[in-house]
Amino acid sequence: QKEVEQNSGPLSVPEGAIASLNCTYSDRGSQSFFWYRQYSGKSPELIMSIYSNGDKEDGRFTAQLNKASQYVSLLIRDSQPSDSATYLCAVPPGAGSYQLTFGKGTKLSVIP
């Protein structure tokens, strides 16, 4: 069974610090990787997508992908209380798949 694993947390970081969120996946054929942010009681919001090994930066967010280790991470720099949410890692199980397999999410709390 294709799996996406995340540490459920909660992960607590002080305001202004770097938050590091990690995700591992089981299917070596996966080609695209996504991070969603979900506030309590709301739906997931796509914040980052990454397709190639290495880093991808977008504002305060950096996604890092290592296909050899089957590992994708999300770094949030200068964390703000408004970043407090659950972060979901999503991976299509194999090349050309049309569905997303989600991890259970990591709950992040940014302490003012």
For the window 17-36, what string marks contact with other proteins as x by the rule CB under 8 A?
Answer: ---------------x-x-x
- CB-CB contact of 1 with 100 (8 Å): no
Nearer Cβ to other proteins (17/31) = 31
CB 24 within 8 A of CB 101: no
Question: SS3 breakdown of the chain: % helix, strand, coil, rounded to 5?
Answer: 5, 50, 45
Choosing from 60, 75, 104, 109, the residue that interacts with other proteins (CB under 8 A) is: 104
CB of 62 to other proteins, least distance (A): 18
